[in-house]
Amino acid sequence: MLCVYCDQPLECDACGDPYNPPGLAEYEALSRPEVPVVCPGCGAVVVCHWCKTPYDGEEQD
Ligand SMILES: [Zn+2]
Ligand SMILES: [Zn+2]
């Protein structure tokens, strides 16, 4: 998966795992800024390791 903000491979900043959506809903959530994305490995809200953008459901400026 590529980060939708910086086009780098999306890795969880908390645990360092590459983020792979477990299902279609999670996949679609990546392109919907209002839907939070949680890392299946560590349970943290995914924060892009590269651009530090949180996928927390809050719209970014
Ligand atoms: Zn994680
Ligand atoms: Zn990014």
Span from the CA of 54 to the centroid of ligand 1 (angstroms): 12
How do residues 13-58 score in pLDDT, each as one tens digit?
Answer: 999 999 999 999 999 999 898 999 999 999 999 999 999 999 999 8
Span from the CA of 33 to the centroid of ligand 2 (angstroms): 13
Q: How many domains does the chain have?
A: 1
pTM of the predicted protein model:
0.87
> Which ligand has an atom closest to residue 12 CA?
1
The 10 Å Cβ neighbour count of residue 11 is 19
Q: Which domain holds residue 30?
A: 1-61
Nearby residues of 51 by Cβ (< 8 Å), 6 or more positions away: 3, 5, 6, 8
- Separation CA 25–CA 58 (nearest Å): 18
